[in-house]
Structure 1
Amino acid sequence: MLEETMTLLSLLGRIMRYFLLRPETLFLLCISLALWSYFFHTDEVKTIVKSSRDAVKMVKGKVVEMMQNDRFGVLDVPDSEFSKTWDFKSNNVAAYSIQGRRDHMEDRFQVLTDVNKTHPSIFGIFDGHGGEAAADFAKAHLLEALRQQLLAYERERNKDKDKDKEKRDKGGLSYPSILEQQILSLDREMLEKLSATYNEAGTTCLVALLSQKELIVANVGDSRGVLCDKDGNAVPLSHDHKPYQLKERKRIKKAGGFISFNGSWRVQGILAMSRSLGDYPLKNLNVVVADPDIMSFDLNKLQPEFMILASDGLWDTFSNEEAVRFIRERLDEPHFGARSIVLQSFYRGCPDNITVMVVKFKGKATGH
């Protein structure tokens, strides 16, 4: 009799282990209890079950909404979710900038426009690294100094307006040369200031001068500009300065430096770009330089619709062509699509600060 009882208990134990304690069985048991409680038990239990059901509906609705928004490129998210968020909007230029997933906000941007439209408008993007000091310094000094130099240049040209072009330009000054001089001068000032406090911060520098018939873009680092021409084509306004590029590798090697892979190709295993402003320890080794690449564009020929200037956070998730298509479909938005593409880049997984500036061209070859 005892042996039969033990056999029965052993059988029950096996049933408990292999049937009642299986996850599927426990799940069905919980559902059954919940349904029984809903129909036959207290009002409190009914309230809990109803609240849970409503919560599930709400979450499903939010998921559907986010999927639809992602499909159409519109993500309406409170700015407070991105820590530091900056925006700017005027008649033909808008910018939007978020801290995103980074611990610190090191992106900066600036716009200087002439109300009377008699002098070039100036636009700048500065993507800092190693701290905010270099980007702050560039924002505080570069565009204003550049404007003063351009105004002085214009005054001299006006004095000589009756002379032939060769005599006017005999000093070698031009918009591109002034732009290059000011960037290199600012870098020297920045190095002197930051090295005095052992501040190793650096920054990219992307600056565009927009006059009535010409667009001039200077680039140092890996912020990038792209233009949409009259046919909707993406025209590169700059080229990234990356350590793995043949020209940059040769220059770095000639200076006695090296590049190595540490998540990405880096100069001396440290810096993911080969040119920058600041970064005094690498400048002292001559492995990183501040020399800008400068490109000029004829607006009469291109008849552009708009241009995009952005930090590399955007270009981690968008190609030039894709960004142009995205913005072109959203030029009627309050920020000309800048806010939408920043949020879209964030939701595509960009880990960096993201800053995007969109400049619309009014008419063909009007400049601004």
Structure 2
Amino acid sequence: MDDDMEDEIIYELFTAHAHIIWRYLGVTTAGLAEMIIPGPGETFKTKLLQPWPFMFFMFLILVASVVLQSSSNIVRRFMVKAHYALGLDNVGSGGFKSLGDLNLVTTLGNDNVSWDFHEGIAGIYGMQGRRGNMEDRYRVIQDVDVGDKKMSFFGVFDGHGGQYTAEFVKDHLFNNVIEKIKQLRTQEPCEKTKSSKTNGTARKTSLVSDKSTNGIKKELIGKSGEPEKSSTKDEEADSNKSSQVPSTPKEEDEALSGSGVENIPSETDADVSPMKKDDSYCSVGLKKRNSIVNNGNSNGNKEKKEETCVDDTYIDINKNVNYTKLLTDQIIAIDNQVVEECKIRTDMSGTTAVIAVLDGELLIIGNVGDSRAVMGDTKGSTIPLSFDHKPNQLKERRRIKEAGGFITFTGVWRVAGILATSRAFGDFPLKEPRKLVTAEPDVLTFSLRDHKAHFVILATDGLWDVLTNEEAVAYVREHIHEPDYGAKSLVLHAYYRGSQDNITVAILNIEKLGL
């Protein structure tokens, strides 16, 4: 265990003991003098050797030893707050940063992991901060070709209990999503093969529309009988003509026209008249037409008609991707993989994730856990793009309870007294045998043009523990001119405010897209 982590534990012990002693003093103030001051005929030694005074005295010694051990941390915390109160928290600003060998403002040293990235529309900065290990990760893939267009992918991953899960998700999630989108965009959503006719001429299936007082009645002909007779000679002639098999396509069209018979479009007709947009992800029109098959011909053979639809649940004929289903399925698939890997390795780590996908003017946000995405628009407003998954939320608490789990409060609400977020990748002990934690994401889609987006912030909870959405957006507005669009300044701003966690911030400067 390194010095930073040991110092952190000592400080937490001191805080806990201080709370206990102040509560004890508050309860026993009335009898404190009587317990400590010797009475008539008593010496201080005999008074001290009595049970209650002795226990109280030992307790004071214990707290005093903790105070002495953690004095450097206490002084540092005090000076950090004083430094912030004096307005000396900006990057590059002056001020007292050390007192002798004691670093007053930051514990960052050569062994403290940090990363800095700025390219294209993305500026990212992350740092280990006051934690013993750096478990945050990030991933950026800009302007990747996915078939007939280019897309960009951004993600911030907040690991806990180790680094393995965050590293695994970083390396695999976007790669899998990109391959799936390429597959969808480079193939036709629905491919049909021409009908094959064997052993004679196949009779074309048709629908007869019979108007009655109750509405329009449809029935199949050419299967088990003649249609109802018409009341007039002309209608009877038309009916007789339609019951015969036309010898040519021209005769077939003439037979079906004006007779109350609805002709089903052929393959050529279907190509000319595509599905409506209302049928985006289910191909209702094609399934309905394909469900009507021919059951009779001159030799008793059926017309064979095949249709191949390529992932019509993910993409429509206009090649619009259903990102909600796509990202949800890919995230759950990655979670299943990492859980199996962690079980083999006996690795109990996990990670939250907040990802952003840019498809033209569309911004798709996927969130698992308590990392968060926020947008600042050109009108000065703050727009939340995701919502944290916390165990004490009604929906999350109900799901955990139905799975046979419970939540407890130990400073923060935790699943089974362990995890402070209710959704995450990995964490296999909380997923088997009972699925107390899930990786199912919330996926929301936004129009950057309609929202007049200026920039987007993706950040781990190390930032949101000490800053509100509005504070973070306001701070970025003042530093958007910096090379990384204010990412480093925002991270250090959160650190000086006292954040105890790893902090990673990604800022997407949407204004540079020129939408």
Superposed pair shares fold, TM > 0.5: yes
Going from structure 1 to structure 2, the CA distance change for 1:151 and 1:166 (only over 3 Å counts) comes to farther
Structure 1 contact 310–357 (Cα < 8 Å) conserved: yes
Distance 1:232 1:169 in 2: 37
Structure 2 residues without counterparts, runs of 5 or longer: 1-81, 95-105, 192-270, 283-311, 315-321
TM-score computed with the length of structure 2 as normaliser: 0.55
Going from structure 1 to structure 2, the CA distance change for 1:68 and 1:273 (only over 3 Å counts) comes to closer
Partner of 2:453: 304
Matching of residue 131 in structure 1 with residue 243 in structure 2? no
Distance 1:303 1:327 in 2: 16
Number of residue pairs matched?
304
Distance 1:309 1:95 in 2: 9
Distance 1:73 1:234 in 2: 24
Distance 1:269 1:256 in 2: 14
Distance 2:331 2:173 in 1: 7
CA offset digits 1:139-181 (Å, max 9, x no partner): 1111111111112222236888984445663322112211111
Matching of residue 109 in structure 1 with residue 138 in structure 2? yes
Structure 1 contact 241–273 (Cα < 8 Å) conserved: yes
Going from structure 1 to structure 2, the CA distance change for 1:140 and 1:248 (only over 3 Å counts) comes to same
Structure 1 contact 137–190 (Cα < 8 Å) conserved: yes
TM-score computed with the length of structure 1 as normaliser: 0.77
Partner of 1:319: 468
Partner of 2:50: none
Max radius of gyration: which structure?
A: 2
Going from structure 1 to structure 2, the CA distance change for 1:364 and 1:89 (only over 3 Å counts) comes to closer
Query: What SS is found at the alignment partner of 1:289?
Result: coil
Partner of 1:52: none
Query: What SS is found at the alignment partner of 2:504?
Result: strand
Distance 1:255 1:102 in 2: 32
Structure 1 residues without counterparts, runs of 5 or longer: 1-62
1:273 aligned partner, one-letter code: T
Distance 1:119 1:199 in 2: 37
CA offset digits 1:256-288 (Å, max 9, x no partner): 100001221100000000000000010112111
1:91 to 115, 120, 132: 120
CA offset digits 1:305-331 (Å, max 9, x no partner): 000000000001110011001001111
Structure 1 contact 306–360 (Cα < 8 Å) conserved: yes
Matching of residue 218 in structure 1 with residue 366 in structure 2? yes
Distance 1:97 1:64 in 2: 22
Distance 1:202 1:278 in 2: 4
Query: What SS is found at the alignment partner of 1:333?
Result: coil
Going from structure 1 to structure 2, the CA distance change for 1:116 and 1:203 (only over 3 Å counts) comes to closer
1:329 to 449, 466, 478: 478
How far residue 300 of structure 1 moved from its aligned partner, in angstroms, is 2.2
1:98-247 mapped onto 2 (5 Å cutoff):
98-114=127-143, 118-156=149-187, 163-164=274-275, 165=277, 169-170=281-282, 171-173=312-314, 174-247=322-395
Distance 2:351 2:475 in 1: 27
RMSD of Structure 2 on Structure 1 (CA):
2.7
Structure 2 contact 121–512 (Cα < 8 Å) conserved: no
1:98 aligned partner, one-letter code: M
CA offset digits 1:116-142 (Å, max 9, x no partner): 793221111110001001001001111
Going from structure 1 to structure 2, the CA distance change for 1:151 and 1:89 (only over 3 Å counts) comes to same
Higher helix share: 1
How far residue 335 of structure 1 moved from its aligned partner, in angstroms, is 1.1
Distance 1:309 1:290 in 2: 18
Structure 2 contact 121–513 (Cα < 8 Å) conserved: no
Partner of 1:277: 425
How far residue 73 of structure 1 moved from its aligned partner, in angstroms, is 6.3
1:69 aligned partner, one-letter code: L
Structure 2 contact 165–351 (Cα < 8 Å) conserved: yes
Identity %: 42
Query: What SS is found at the alignment partner of 2:431?
Result: helix
Going from structure 1 to structure 2, the CA distance change for 1:364 and 1:207 (only over 3 Å counts) comes to closer
Partner of 2:509: 360
Structure 1 contact 112–122 (Cα < 8 Å) conserved: yes
Partner of 2:410: 262
Distance 1:65 1:326 in 2: 15
Going from structure 1 to structure 2, the CA distance change for 1:83 and 1:231 (only over 3 Å counts) comes to same
Structure 2 contact 107–130 (Cα < 8 Å) conserved: no
